[in-house]
Structure 1
Amino acid sequence: MLYRGDFVHTVQLSDIMICHDYLLGKSSMFVSMRRPRFPAPSYRTRATIPSFLYLQASFLLPTFCDLHLHAPQFLYQGTGLHLPLMEWLNEYAFKAEERLDREPDLARRVYTRLGERLVENGTGAVLLFGTIKEETNVILAETMQKIGIRAFIGKLSMDISTRPTYTESTPSESIASARMFIDRIRALTAHLPDHARLVEPVLTPRFVPTCSDALLRGLGDLAEQTGIRVQSHLAEARDQMKAVQESRGMSDLEVFGRARLLTPRTIQAHCTYLTPEEFSRLAQHGTAIAHCPLSNAYFSGRQLALREALDRGVRVGLGTDIAGGYSVDIMGAMRWSVGMSRISEGTRLEQSGCQATALIQATVSVNWKEALYLGTRGGALALGLGGGVFKIGAPFDAQQICLLNPNSAPAGIGPLDFLASNLQSFELSLEMVEKWWCVGDTRNRTGMWIQGRQVFFG
């Protein structure tokens, strides 16, 4: 299949590249990308040419990566956001997860709808927290594989709980279950060719308050033996950090470090209370951060110091954190990340009195281009994937964004309008991409491919 048109990607943090009128060849990977040697046929004759997709008034963009989402919590998405974190977990999260472990038919319905919503919103790769029970997480993996999403599935490991019915009884039981889960998920796709194996297991100690030191050490050993990814929560909220300090006499960063769970294949969510020096420690370990600006606004009491983390060399991507966040849309996470960073920048300048020239020239805010990088390439790098960018040999994970119906100009598709533009001959501009980034929605997404297979038809 050949695609001709405009391609947009972010190779570097602050740079957006628009490749105008390129010809792209693909299978499950990108196999060629070059300027065509022949003029484009007219719009009227394009449909008669086989094996071509012409991107009329649209562009291809790498799919989004969601680095932090609690799959069972999709059951109550958009509700119960009024409590502090530790109370919220006991009142909502644990109950929902335990219910799905009891009701496999409900779990399959929830996970199927979640997968459909992810595809609808352009998410092609997602790092998922599941539940305690192995079978329920296998359902989650089967569902994501069938829908065609690149999914990294985490069976929860937790031997401490405020709900006696929702816990694993001993560290050894929890570690044995995690090992079994790894084997089961790998067996699920073992019969498929490499490019079609879309789901992978992830070690998932929920967070320090639900895990004994013995369990964390055992998971550290297992991570070292298997080389698989690790995910958890780190320095998220004051009540969580206080609980760790009182029970362990140290920070949760130190707890994870002693258990050897800070690795180049680890992604830690939130990290809102880390200091610049602690960001440097994460960078030294190669550990990435899942930045969840919406749920941070509800539960953390502060935002991640995003610019400082990036400046210290930490890999960062975005997460929706369902259901601590209320939307599965990574575009919302991108917009929130910029908005919250602008607030942080304003607070910094106010506190400084705007006296020092060097302080004024420096900034802790991020812009929309950088946020787009975090939602695509940044997330892919955090997951250790070769995607998030258009290059030969990268997985063909792409979404088609349509801006304009040629028959209805200057009104664009969905919420987009181009009222002062001359659209007689369409030429994609950076301003058009920015307009879509700010106000576009699912109506602009007309196709999506994962590993070369089309999984969404708009």
Structure 2
Amino acid sequence: MTNVTPVAFAVRGTLVHCPALGNVEVLKDHLLLVDDRGFITYVSSAASESSLQYINQLGSTVRTLPPGSFMLPTFCDLHLHAPQFMYQGTGLDLPLMQWLNEYAYKAEESIDEHADLAEKVYKRLAQRLIEVGTGAVLLFGTIKTDTNLILANAMQEAGVRAFVGKLSMDKSSRPTYKESGHEDSLRSAQDFIERCRNSVASLDEHRRLIEPVITPRFVPTCSDELLENLGGLSKSSSTRVQSHLAESYEAAEWVKAERGIDDIRVFQKNNLLGKGTVQAHCTFLTSEELELLATNHTAVAHCPLSNAYFSEKPFPLREALDKGVPVGLGSDVAGGYSIDIMSSMRHAVATSRMREGTRALEAKTAPVGDSETNSLAIEWKEALFLSTRGGALALGLENSGEFKVGASFDAQHISLYDFGGLTGVGPLDFFDLGPNYTGLTMDMIEKWWCMGDVRNRAGMWVQGNKLI
């Protein structure tokens, strides 16, 4: 047998992952081994000669998944406002700019003023993320450094992989909730980056689950001087960037009236587009601007649910994918009411089908050749890729989101059917699984994708650490 790093975890059963857009790969009866650092060291058919040797050697330490269940990579949430989790599911009747003033800024200011509240909210947020299978999350925080360190610590202690953004905003419609100027804001961003990294510096590199992110809230809350300096800081400190881009008509028009150019051009001239940047929403981008994102390797956090509430149009998902824009999914809590990325997957498909329906109807009366011929719809398999491997790539997690040697073992155990009790798990019902059952089918996975919930999650691991 080939020598490998000592095995800390071994599992035998069905593995499901999406190595490419639209490709759901079902690896039936496979053996997967994980080392003590949380990395996958072996993946192969359990019937292979080397697998049989491992199984014989490891004996009862091999965890065997019951039939009717499978391992899946954990979900990635590319856009979540951590302090807004406090009032999730309220106030969604207002337009974006009013909603920010009435709810978001007040909540963020309150949580900055009360460290005990921040700790309570953020620990609960981490628990909820684990419940819904989110193993990696890109977070917007608040403007106060200490509060964001509470957020980072809550995620690290819970075992969730988190990219934490301290807001940079030297302008605000709420006078009490902004930084005093661009110099103060820049110093604060530098301080957070240093202190966030130092908070995990004593840990082995593979155990450092948190990273700081430079986070200009969006163009209307940032001066040109601040944006220019943040672009320089990102380059000098090798720090990722996140923001909101072209989210609503009102915000887009505000930027054009004030700056004379679209917000994407504002980000571009300040070196805030590039590899390592994730821009949320992007609903008002043109075809040319999508190509600009692709050329600059800038990723998009697609938030279909919050777009329905706060943007006047849907994100052109199919066009972005066709142009090679890296795309993942975001919950956008609290602009979106659900923290579950399964909700985002379903809304992404539903929105794309509505877009395709509109296109098809318009094409019936349009002159031949004047309309698109390729479908704008995506299917569930593509959405599953966006929530796992696609999201990981958008976050720069090259070795995550799939089951391969060298990848981090970030996985969730999904249970669909209990053969002992002859019943579906949670909300799922199956009426055709009898004694001739030969293993997990694509139809069973699709049923879970459409109807499954937290009751189907029987286990979860991040970097090999068991969280459920």
Q: TM-score range by the shorter chain?
A: over 0.9
- Give the structure-1-normalised TM-score: 0.96
Provide the rounded CA distance (Å) in 2 between the counterparts of 1:70 and 1:423. Answer: 48
After superposition, residues 265-344 of structure 1 pair within 5 angstroms as 265-344=276-355
Provide the rounded CA distance (Å) in 1 between the counterparts of 2:72 and 2:333. Answer: 24
Provide the rounded CA distance (Å) in 2 between the counterparts of 1:37 and 1:401. Answer: 23
After superposition, residues 153-164 of structure 1 pair within 5 angstroms as 153-164=164-175
Matching residue's letter, 1:304: F
State whether structure 2 residue 39 is matched by structure 1 residue 29: yes
State whether structure 2 residue 21 is matched by structure 1 residue 19: no
> Partner residue of 1:379?
391
After superposition, residues 415-454 of structure 1 pair within 5 angstroms as 415-422=427-434, 425-454=437-466
CA contact (8 A) 2:70 2:414 kept: yes
Deviations 1:58-90 (A, max 9, x none): 100000000000000000000010100000000
1:408 deviates by 2.1
1:362 deviates by 1.6
Partner of residue 416 from structure 2, selected from 400, 403, 419: 403
Provide the rounded CA distance (Å) in 1 between the counterparts of 2:300 and 2:435. Answer: 41
> Partner residue of 1:44?
none
Provide the rounded CA distance (Å) in 2 between the counterparts of 1:30 and 1:430. Answer: 25
1:293 deviates by 0.1
Partner of residue 62 from structure 2, selected from 42, 52, 61: 52
> Partner residue of 2:247?
236
CA contact (8 A) 1:69 1:322 kept: yes
After superposition, residues 349-368 of structure 1 pair within 5 angstroms as 349-353=360-364, 356=368, 362-368=374-380
Provide the rounded CA distance (Å) in 1 between the counterparts of 2:77 and 2:370. Answer: 35
Deviations 1:277-304 (A, max 9, x none): 1000001111000000000000001110
Matching residue's letter, 1:141: A
Provide the rounded CA distance (Å) in 2 between the counterparts of 1:330 and 1:313. Answer: 22
1:331 deviates by 0.3
Deviations 1:342-390 (A, max 9, x none): 0000001111117758968520110000000000011000011021111
- C-alpha change, 1:216 and 1:430, in structure 2 (3 Å) is same
1:405 deviates by 1.2
After superposition, residues 33-112 of structure 1 pair within 5 angstroms as 33-37=43-47, 50-56=60-66, 57-112=68-123
> Partner residue of 1:10?
18
Deviations 1:104-159 (A, max 9, x none): 10111100111100000000000000000000000000000000000000000000
Q: Structure 1 stretch 347-356 or stretch 372-381: which is displaced more? A: 347-356
CA contact (8 A) 1:380 1:387 kept: yes
1:422 deviates by 2.6
- Return 5+ residue gaps in structure 1 as ranges: 40-47
Matching residue's letter, 1:185: C
CA contact (8 A) 1:354 1:360 kept: no
Matching residue's letter, 2:17: H
Q: Secondary structure at the match of 1:289?
A: strand
Matching residue's letter, 1:399: Q
> Partner residue of 2:127?
116
Matching residue's letter, 2:418: N
1:425 deviates by 3.8
- C-alpha change, 1:164 and 1:430, in structure 2 (3 Å) is same
1:51 deviates by 1.6
- Give the structure-2-normalised TM-score: 0.94
CA contact (8 A) 2:359 2:372 kept: no
Matching residue's letter, 1:233: H
Provide the rounded CA distance (Å) in 2 between the counterparts of 1:217 and 1:195. Answer: 33
Partner of residue 189 from structure 1, selected from 177, 182, 200: 200
State whether structure 2 residue 402 is matched by structure 1 residue 394: no
Q: Which stretches of structure 1, 4 residues or longer, exceed 6 Å deviation after superposition?
A: none
Q: Secondary structure at the match of 1:165?
A: coil
1:49 deviates by 5.1
Aligned-pair RMSD on alpha carbons? 1.6
Q: Secondary structure at the match of 1:286?
A: coil
CA contact (8 A) 1:86 1:240 kept: yes
Q: Secondary structure at the match of 2:424?
A: coil
Provide the rounded CA distance (Å) in 1 between the counterparts of 2:48 and 2:226. Answer: 62
Provide the rounded CA distance (Å) in 2 between the counterparts of 1:358 and 1:125. Answer: 42
1:166 deviates by 0.6
Q: Structure 1 stretch 371-380 or stretch 399-408: which is displaced more? A: 399-408
- Return 5+ residue gaps in structure 2 as ranges: 1-8, 50-57
CA contact (8 A) 2:16 2:24 kept: yes
Matching residue's letter, 2:45: R
- C-alpha change, 1:361 and 1:281, in structure 2 (3 Å) is closer
- C-alpha change, 1:291 and 1:325, in structure 2 (3 Å) is same
Provide the rounded CA distance (Å) in 2 between the counterparts of 1:403 and 1:455. Answer: 20
Matching residue's letter, 1:16: V
Q: Secondary structure at the match of 1:5?
A: strand
Q: Secondary structure at the match of 1:389?
A: coil
State whether structure 2 residue 229 is matched by structure 1 residue 218: yes
Provide the rounded CA distance (Å) in 2 between the counterparts of 1:144 and 1:29. Answer: 20
CA contact (8 A) 1:24 1:34 kept: yes
Provide the rounded CA distance (Å) in 2 between the counterparts of 1:426 and 1:419. Answer: 15
Partner of residue 178 from structure 2, selected from 167, 170, 175: 167
Q: Secondary structure at the match of 2:128?
A: helix
